[in-house]
């Protein structure tokens, strides 16, 4: 049992923290928000050059990491800086390609690790909410390939991605785990209608409407109808990434709030001298350590057996979701009015934290799932 980082991860963390501190500035974030990608291409390639993308993949996949604690190091630092670059999408889509792809498809991973292509995963649909098996988009096999029709909702990085990994049903009905297949959809394919829009937590997403989109046979990713297990695994890894990102964001929020309590004076003394705020800050710190341990628990199980892994996915997503709400709301409250303003740096982090619950399942959803998984 050992909770220290390996030297490699320690170096990665130090380098990342330095680089992000210098690059992810309020101005850079405003520019990213104003731009049409929703993130900074410079920071994206800068991070790729540093090997951040490589840290998300194993050596046989062409990277040099890929373990749960590699994800934790990377995303905790991205979160600490409030970076909005779409590495979670790379992890999701890239992970699926790396696991299921043939050699031709795997070539994309190499480019992705270089940072030269953008990826996205189109899975959720307008009414699927957090049910991974709920796929209504259909793919019909034809003589010379596939024809896809349906709708995909809140596809993060969807309009920016050069290639979208997209799920569609090749058999079964809306709520079966069997019968779900994956395809690689190139940008600009005919029959795809894209609505691109900004997200409250930063970055952009798109609604996709597919109307008889023609794809070659070679677009199929992995075995027909058998993609569910890989999709669940990809979501487990992406959930760990989101929770580590939230953990980093909470550390920044905690630091901002601590500094504010020390400097802000009211009724003649620093408000940090007020015991009521001290004790609430203490509770906040306790919950932050709870969240850190929950992320460790999940990252340590990502490569383990499915049942244990999924129990920890739901335990961690539940706990971190709850703590993220507490930390965001308490920090704004302890700041008072200034914490409500866009100008002050807290806002960006608080908004990001308030969005954690809306991807891959909120804390209530995962509490129920934790109970079901344990009863099973």
User: Which positions touch a second copy (CB under 8 A)?
Assistant: 274-276, 278-279
When CB distances are held under 5 to 8 angstroms depending on the partner's kind, the choice from another protein, a second copy, none that residue 303 binds is: none
The nearest distance, CB 333 to a second copy, in angstroms, is: 12
| Angle subtended by helix axes 7-23 and 41-50, to nearest 10 | 160
The nearest distance, CB 63 to another protein, in angstroms, is: 18
- Closer CB to another protein, residue 64 or residue 274? 274
- Closer CB to a second copy, residue 217 or residue 279? 279
Of the candidates 246, 257, 318, the one whose C-alpha atom is nearest the C-alpha of residue 288 is 246
When CB distances are held under 5 to 8 angstroms depending on the partner's kind, the choice from another protein, a second copy, none that residue 18 binds is: none
- Closer CB to a second copy, residue 30 or residue 279? 279
The nearest distance, CB 219 to another protein, in angstroms, is: 26
When CB distances are held under 5 to 8 angstroms depending on the partner's kind, the choice from a second copy, another protein, none that residue 292 binds is: another protein
- Closer CB to another protein, residue 235 or residue 359? 359
Query: Tokens representing 142?
Result: 């034809």
Read off the DSSP letter of residue 311.
H
The nearest distance, CB 272 to a second copy, in angstroms, is: 12
Polymer length of the chain? 376
Cβ-count burial of 63 within 10 angstroms (0-12 exposed, 13-18 middle, 19+ buried)? buried
- Closer CB to a second copy, residue 225 or residue 270? 270
- Closer CB to another protein, residue 16 or residue 350? 350
Can you tell me the distance from the alpha carbon of 273 to that of 263, in angstroms, rounded to the nearest whole number?
A: 10
- Closer CB to a second copy, residue 190 or residue 375? 375
When CB distances are held under 5 to 8 angstroms depending on the partner's kind, the choice from another protein, a second copy, none that residue 362 binds is: another protein
Query: Tokens representing 308?
Result: 């244990």
Query: Tokens representing 331?
Result: 């920090």
When CB distances are held under 5 to 8 angstroms depending on the partner's kind, the choice from another protein, a second copy, none that residue 173 binds is: none
Residue 108 φ then ψ, to 5°: -60, -35
Of the candidates 189, 216, 214, 184, the one whose C-alpha atom is nearest the C-alpha of residue 100 is 184
The nearest distance, CB 111 to another protein, in angstroms, is: 28
How many Cα atoms occupy the beta-carbon half-sphere of 114 within 13 Å? 7
When CB distances are held under 5 to 8 angstroms depending on the partner's kind, the choice from a second copy, another protein, none that residue 216 binds is: none
The nearest distance, CB 115 to another protein, in angstroms, is: 25
The nearest distance, CB 274 to a second copy, in angstroms, is: 5
The position carrying tokens 């993308």 is 53
Q: How many CB atoms are located within 10 Å of the residue 373 CB?
A: 17
- Closer CB to another protein, residue 197 or residue 216? 197
When CB distances are held under 5 to 8 angstroms depending on the partner's kind, the choice from a second copy, another protein, none that residue 337 binds is: another protein
Residue 49 φ then ψ, to 5°: -60, -35
Report how far apart the first and last C-alpha atoms of the chain are (Å, whole number): 29
Please give the full DSSP string across 48-74, using - where no structure is assigned: HHHTTTGGGS-TTTTSS--SHHHHHHH
The nearest distance, CB 203 to a second copy, in angstroms, is: 37
Q: Are 188 and 128 in contact (CB under 8 A)?
A: no
When CB distances are held under 5 to 8 angstroms depending on the partner's kind, the choice from a second copy, another protein, none that residue 359 binds is: another protein
Query: Tokens representing 256?
Result: 């901002």
């Amino acid at each position: 049992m050992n909770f220290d980082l390996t030297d490699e991860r320690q170096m990665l963390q130090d380098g990342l923290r330095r680089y992000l501190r210098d690059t992810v500035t309020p101005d850079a974030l405003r520019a990213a928000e104003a731009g049409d990608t929703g993130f900074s291409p410079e920071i994206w390639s800068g991070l790729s050059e540093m090997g951040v993308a490589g840290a998300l993949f194993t050596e046989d996949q062409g990277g040099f990491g890929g373990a749960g604690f590699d994800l934790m190091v990377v995303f905790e630092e991205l979160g600490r800086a409030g970076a909005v670059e779409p590495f979670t999408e790379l992890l999701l889509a890239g992970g699926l390609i790396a696991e299921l792809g043939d050699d031709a498809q795997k070539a994309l991973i190499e480019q992705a690790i270089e940072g030269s292509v953008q990826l996205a995963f189109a899975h959720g649909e307008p009414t699927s909410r957090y049910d991974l098996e709920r796929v209504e988009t259909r793919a019909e096999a034809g003589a010379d390939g596939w024809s896809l029709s349906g709708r995909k909702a809140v596809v993060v990085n969807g309009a920016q991605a050069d290639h979208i990994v997209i799920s569609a049903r090749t058999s079964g009905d809306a709520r079966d785990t069997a019968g779900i297949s994956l395809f690689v959809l190139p940008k600009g394919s005919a029959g795809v209608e894209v609505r691109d829009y900004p997200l409250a937590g930063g970055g952009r997403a798109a609604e996709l409407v597919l109307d008889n989109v023609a794809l070659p046979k070679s677009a199929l990713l992995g075995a027909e109808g058998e993609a569910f297990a890989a999709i669940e695994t990809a979501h487990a890894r992406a959930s760990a990434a989101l929770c580590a990102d939230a953990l980093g964001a909470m550390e920044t929020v905690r630091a901002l709030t601590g500094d504010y309590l020390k400097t802000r004076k009211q009724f003649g003394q620093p408000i940090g001298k007020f015991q009521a705020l001290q004790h609430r800050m203490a509770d906040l710190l306790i919950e932050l350590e709870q969240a850190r341990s929950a992320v460790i628990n999940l990252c340590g199980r990502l490569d383990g057996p499915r049942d244990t892994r999924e129990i920890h996915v739901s335990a961690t997503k539940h706990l971190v979701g709850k703590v993220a709400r507490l930390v965001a709301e308490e920090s704004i409250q302890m700041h008072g009015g200034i914490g409500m303003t866009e100008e002050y740096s807290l806002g960006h982090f608080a908004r990001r934290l308030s969005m954690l619950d809306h991807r891959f399942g909120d804390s209530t959803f995962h509490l129920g799932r934790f109970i079901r998984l344990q009863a099973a």
